[in-house]
Structure 1
Amino acid sequence: MKFIKNTYIFGIGALILGAITSCSDDFLEVEPKGKFLTNNYYENEEQAYTGLIATYDRLQKNTGGFDNLVAMMNSGSDDHFAGGGNASDGQGLQDFSSYNMNSVSMPQSYWSDHYQGIFRANILLLQLPDVPMDASLISRFSAEAKALRALYYFNLVRMFKNIPLITEPIDQAEIFNIPQANPADVYALIETDLLGAIAVLPETITSASETGRLTKGGAQALLGKVYLYIGKNALAAAQFAEVNGTPGEVNQYGNKLLDNFDDLWGVSNKFNSESIIEVPHTNESLTGWDNWGQGSDEGNSYNQMVGPRTYSKLSDSAPDFAAGWSFNPITQDLYDFIKDDPRFNATVFDMKALKDAGDADYIAGYQDTGYFLRKFMPTNADKSTLAGNTELNYRQNSYIIRLADTYLMEAEALGATGTRAQALLDAVRARVGLPSVPVSMDAVMDERRLELVGEGHRWFDLVRTGRAATVLADRGFVAGTHEIFPIPFKEFENTIIEQNPNYN
C-alpha cells in the first residue's frame, strides 16, 4: 500500500511547494499520478485524497527520523538520559537532557516538520470546497485536516509556546513578516478545529484500507488532552468520559484495554483495541542514509536508537535483539521505581543483569546505566530484508494516545477524587494484576509514570502539573525558562519572530 509524501519544506524563512512522491507503507492506499501545482492542485477526489494522506504524513514525527518526538521528550525527563555514543551525539537531545538548550543546537525540525503538516492541512481546507466530489467526503476530509492541524499546533504550542498562527496558505513574500500569536489564540483554534472535527468524523473505521485514519473518539481524546493541558478540567473530563465509557469495559467506539500489557508492544499487533491515535511504520520503505529523515522514510527510527550498542547474544537465554545506538537509557531512579511492578519486564531491558550472567554483551554508551527501553527494542526478526539500510526500516507502530492514557487523564481531570476517578485508576492497575490503591493525584501520576514509560509523556506531565522544577532540579531545569524550548535560530533569523524568554 502507499503512503503519500508531499515535498513541502517549511520554516518561517522557507517554503517550497512541490511534487508528490510515493513510498510504501501499510495503510492508506493511493496511487499518485502526475504533479499538481498549488493553485490547481485538487482537480478530483483522487488528488484530494493524496493531499489528505500527505497531511497525515507528519504524524510520523512521533518515532520516525532521528529528531523524533519520543526520543526528544524522553531525553529531558527523569526516566531517561539522552545517551547515545558520546556527549555530542545528537546535540539537541544532549542539551535538552542537561538543560543547556540554545537556539543553535535546538533541532529545527521540531518546528518545521509540524508546520509542514499545518501547511498541507491549510491547502487542503482551502481547496476542498471546490473539488468535484461527494459532499460527505468533502466534510470528512475537512474534519480530518482540522484534527491533524489541531494536533500539529498542539505539539508546537506545548513545545515553543510563542508561535505564528497560520490558517491559510501564504505567499513567499509574506513569510518573513508573520508575527507570533498569543498562545490563547492558538489554543482557541485547536479547540475550534477539534470540535468541528468531532461533529463529522466517523465513530469507527470499518474498512481495512482506511486503518489509521482519525475517528470521532480520537479527536475527543485529543481535545480532552488539550483541555487538561490548559486547565479546563471539567471540559477535559467530559470529553474523556465520552471516550472511556465504563472503566474496564468496551467503550462506545469498540476500544478496550488489552488483557495483556505485553501485547501492546507486539510489532504485529497494530491498531489494536487499546489504540486511539496510532502512527504507522513499515519495514518496506527502502530507507537509506541518503533519504533518512527527509520525508520519504517510513520506518520507526526509535527502535534503532534505543538498542544497546554492539549487542551480541551469547546464550540461548538471551533475547535475539539487534544492535542499536544506546539512546534514552533508563535512569536508576526509574529502575528502582518500576522494578517490582508487573510491567517491568515489558518495559525495561536489564542488559546489566544479562551481561553479568554472561548471556549477552554490549559496549556501554554515553550515560550508560545498563537499562534500556524494552517497549521499542529492535529485533533481528524484525529487520527488513529489502533494499535500504535495515537499521532505518523497523516496522513497529507507536501510540500517540491509547486508552490507558485517557483513563488516567480523566482521573486527573476529575481532581483524582470520587468513585469514577477511583474506577479509572483501578482499571489500569487491574489489567496488570495490581490491587486497588486510594485514588489521589500522586497515585494517578505514579500510575502514569509506570504505565507510559518511554512513550514521550513524562516530561509534559511534569510540566503540566508544575512538578518539573522539583523533579528535574538535579538535571538543571530552571522554572520560568525550561517549560518551553528555544526557538531554532533559523526561524527568527531575518524574520520578526522573537526568541523565547531567557534564551537570548
Structure 2
Amino acid sequence: MKKNILAIAALLTASQLIVSCQKQLEVNPRERILETNYYQNQQQAFTGLVAVYDQLGNQSSGYLTKLNLFCSASDDHYAGADSPSDLGDMQAMNNYTVNSLSGAPSYLWSKGFTGVYRANVLLKKIEGINMDASTKARYIAEAKALRAIFYFDLLRIFKNIPLILAPIEPAGMFDVTQVAPADVYKQIEQDLKESLSALPVTIPTADAGRLNQGAAHAVLGKVYLWQEKWALAAAEFAAVNGTAPGASTYGYKLLPKFADLWNWKNKFNSESVLELSYNTTSNMGWSNVGSREGNVMGILVGPRNYVPVIAAQAPDYVSGWSVMPITKELFDLIHYDPRNKPTVANLDSLEKAGIVTYKHANDNTGYFVEKYAGRVSTKAAVGQLELNFGQNMYEIRLADTYLMEAEALLRSGAAVGAGSRAYIFFNAVRARVGLNPVEVTMDNIMKERRLELVAEGQRWFDLVRWGLAPTKLAFKGFQANKNETLPIPQAELNNTKILQSKEWGGTK
C-alpha cells in the first residue's frame, strides 16, 4: 500500500484522541479539507483507508521505528550510532534507562493511537457513504483488522491502555480511562474474526500491501500465541500455512533462496504475509524526515565513515550511522549458519583484509545488518539520497508463521516427532537454507527463530513472551517485572484520567 502522508494529512485536522497524537500540520487554510466535510464518496473512503494503512510503517522525525527501538533493546543488537549520546531514544532502549519522558514511549503510543483514531474515523464515516456494498464491506474489514494490529502492539508494549472504538469529541478526550488487558484482547480477537469474511483470499499486484484473509489469520495466531492459547494459535497458523509447505490457500511459499528476501526489488513476494511499503520516489529530505516514503533503515544500519580501499572487492555500502550493530554473541551463533552472509555485514573481516575502512563508533563490534544496508546501487535518483531507500520491511513472513505453528503445536501437546505437521513445517525453514532436520523442541525453536529473523523486530518480543528477557537482557540493565513493558508517556498522564502502570511507579 503506497503511503502519502502529505495528501492524507488534510483529512485529519480534527483533534487526535490522545494528547501526543496531535500533529501540527503545515496546511494552507484555504485548501484545508475538514474531516467533517470529507468521506462523501467511495474515493474519499479509500483515501481514508490509505491513511490508516499509513501508520503501519510510520517513522518518526527522530529516525525512530518500532523495529529499530526493539532491536536496540534486544540481545541481538546494540543501539550503536556515533556516540553514547547520539540518537538518545535508541540508547535509552538499549540501556534500559527509558522513562515516561523518553521519546520512545511517546512515539510508540502516538503511532498506535493515531492508527486507532484513523480507523475509528473511517469506520464511523463510512456508514453514511453510498458506495458499492462489497467494497464497503472490504474497507470496513480492513479498518477493523488494522485497528486490531495497532491495539495488539499497544497492548504488548504498554499493557494498560484505553480501548476506544469510536471517534471521541475533543471535549471528552481527557476523560478516557484504561481497561483490563483481557478486554483489549477480546476486542482484538473480535475485530480480526469479523474482518475475515470480507477480506479477499489473495491480493492482485495493483493492491499489493493490503490485507487479505491470510494476514488476518496470521495476526490472530500471534494474538493467541501471546495469550498462550496454543491450540487456537496452531489452528490460525495452519490456515495460513496450508496442508503442506508450499500448499497455502493464500498462495504463500517460502522463497527458494533466503538471500532473495532482501533484494529490495523483490517486494510482496510469495513469502510475504504482512509487509510495510517504502519507495525511492517520495523525495524525503532532512527537513521532513518521517513525513515521506523512503526507508530510513538503509542509512541507519550502514557503517559510519565507510571507505572502500580496494574498490573491486569492497561492497558498495553507503556510509551510514552504525545503528544496530550485531552483538558478538549473535555473530558467533550465526557465523557458520547459511544465513550468515545475507544477514551480517562483516566489516570486521573486510577491514582486517585491508579492503575497507570505517569508523569504530559506539558499541562497535564490526558486525552490521546486511539485510537493510543501503548501497550505492540501491540509492534513490531523487531527493536526499540517504533517506529514500525503497526496501520494504516484513511485519510477518511465512517462515515466521511456520515456526510459530510448530511452537504452538509443541506447547499444545500435539505430536512433534518425525513426520508430524510440526516437524515438517519447522524443518522446512531449515531445509530452505540447506540444513538437516532436527527435533522440534523449545530450545531448537528459539534458536531457529533467532537465526531466521535477525533484525526483523521479533527477538525482544519473543524473549518477553518466553519469560527469558530478565536473564537474556540482564547485561543491558533489564529489570524483571518492569521492563517487559514501557512506561505510559507523561503527556498522556497530565490532566487526564490515564494512570501510570504499577511497574513504573503508578497505581494501574
Q: Scaled by the length of structure 1, what TM-score is found?
A: 0.93
Q: Secondary structure at the match of 1:290?
A: helix
Match of 1:334 in 2: 330
CA distance in 2, matches of 1:51, 1:154: 21
Superposition pairs of residues 261-276 of structure 1, within 5 angstroms: 261-276=258-273
Report the Cα offset of residue 247 of structure 1: 3.8
Asked if 1:495 is matched to 2:483, the reply is: no
Match of 1:198 in 2: 196
1:312 to 293, 307, 311: 307
Question: Is residue 3 from structure 1 mapped to residue 3 from structure 2 by the alignment?
Answer: yes
Q: 1:50-199 counterparts in 2 under 5 A? A: 50-61=47-58, 66-107=63-104, 108-199=106-197
The 1:302–1:203 alpha-carbon spacing in structure 2 relative to 1, beyond 3 Å, is same
Q: 1:375 aligns with which of 368, 371, 374?
A: 371
Paired AA for residue 503 in structure 1: W
- Partners in 2 of 1:298 and 1:249 — Cα distance? 32
**C-alpha spacing 1:360/1:11, structure 2 compared with 1 (3 Å):** farther
1:35: how far off? 4.8
* Alpha-carbon distance in structure 2 between the residues aligned to 1:413 and 1:62: 32
CA contact (8 A) 1:310 1:363 kept: yes
CA distance in structure 1 between the partners assigned to 2:423 and 2:266 by the alignment: 29
Distance 1:318 1:96 in 2: 33
Q: Within 5 Å, which residues of 2 pair with 1:251-270?
A: 251-270=248-267
Partner of 2:461: 460
User: Equivalent residue of 1:175, what SS?
Assistant: helix
2:434 is equivalent to residue 448 of structure 1 = no
- The 1:63–1:405 alpha-carbon spacing in structure 2 relative to 1, beyond 3 Å, is farther
Go from structure 1 to structure 2 and tell me whether the alpha carbon gap of 1:329 and 1:72 turns closer, same or farther (over 3 Å shift): same
Residues 449, 458 of structure 1: 8 Å contact kept: yes
Partner of 1:31: none
Alignment TM-score, normalising by the size of structure 2? 0.93
Give 3-state SS (helix, strand or coil) of 2:251's partner. coil
Q: Distance in 1 between matches of 2:60 and 2:245?
A: 28
1:320-359 alignment, distance < 5 Å: 320-359=316-355
Cα displacement (A) at 1:292: 1.0
Could you tell me how far apart the structure 2 residues matched to 1:390 and 1:468 are?
A: 38
CA shift, 1:11, in A, is: 6.4
> What CA RMSD, in Å, does the superposition of the two structures yield over aligned residues?
2.0
CA drift at 1:62? 7.2
1:370 maps to amino acid:
G
Classify 1:19/1:503 alpha carbon distance in 2 versus 1 (closer, same or farther; 3 Å). closer
Q: How many residues align?
A: 489
Q: Which residue of 2 aligns with 1:231?
A: 228
Q: Give the deviation of 1:209 after TM superposition.
A: 2.2
Q: Which amino acid aligns with 1:13?
A: V
Q: Residue 438 of structure 1 aligns with which residue? A: 439
Q: Which amino acid aligns with 2:421?
A: R
Residue identity matched to 1:493: N
Alignment partner for residue 413 of structure 1, among 408, 411, 436? 408
2:368 aligned counterpart, secondary structure: strand
Which whole-Å CA distance do the structure 1 matches of 2:62 and 2:203 have between them?
Answer: 28
State the match for 1:29 in structure 2: none
SS at 2:396 equivalent = strand
* Matches of 2:61 and 2:396, distance apart in 1: 16
Q: What is the CA distance between 1:346 and its match in structure 2?
A: 0.4
Q: CA deviation at 1:63?
A: 9.7
Per the TM alignment, residue 64 of structure 1 is displaced from its structure 2 partner at its CA by 9.2
Q: Deviations over 1:81-117 (max 9, x none)?
A: 1111111222221111111221112431111011111
Q: Which residue of 2 aligns with 1:26?
A: none
For residues 102-143 of structure 1, what are the alpha-carbon distances to aligned partners after superposition, in whole Å with 9 as ceiling and x for unaligned? 111243111101111111100100111211101101100000
The amino acid across from 2:305 in the alignment is T
Aligned to 2:371, what secondary structure does the other structure show?
A: helix
> Counterpart amino acid of 1:443?
N
Q: CA offset at residue 490 of structure 1?
A: 1.4
8 Å CA contact 1:348, 1:374 repeated in 2: yes
- The whole-number CA distance in structure 2 between the counterparts of 1:281 and 1:15 is 23
Contact 1:11–1:491 (8 Å) recurs in 2: no
Residue matched to 2:34: 37
Query: Partner amino acid for 1:354?
Result: L
Q: Tell me the amino acid that sits aligned with residue 360 of structure 1.
A: V
Residues in 1 aligned to 2:22 and 2:445: alpha-carbon distance in whole angstroms: 45
Query: What is the distance in 2 between the residues matched to 1:88 and 1:458?
Result: 24
Q: Hey, what's the Cα distance between the residues in 1 that align with 2:23 and 2:357?
A: 48
Residue by residue, what CA displacement relative to the aligned partner does 1:69-90 show, whole Å, maximum 9, x if unpaired?
1100101111001111111222
Contact 1:247 1:407 in 2 (8 A): no
Report matched runs for 1:393-432 at 5 Å.
393-415=388-410, 417-418=415-416, 419-432=420-433
> Which stretch shows the higher mean deviation, 8-17 or 309-318?
8-17
Which secondary structure state, in structure 2, belongs to the residue aligned with residue 96 of structure 1? helix
**Aligned equivalents of 1:4, 1:392: Cα separation in 2:** 16
Q: Look up the match of 1:364.
A: 360
Q: CA deviation at 1:478?
A: 1.2
Q: Which amino acid aligns with 1:241?
A: A
* Percent of matched pairs sharing the same residue: 48
Task: Evaluate the alpha carbon distance shift between residue 123 and residue 11 of structure 1 in structure 2; reply closer, same or farther with a 3 A threshold.
Answer: closer
Residue ranges of structure 1 left out of the alignment (5+ in a row): 22-33
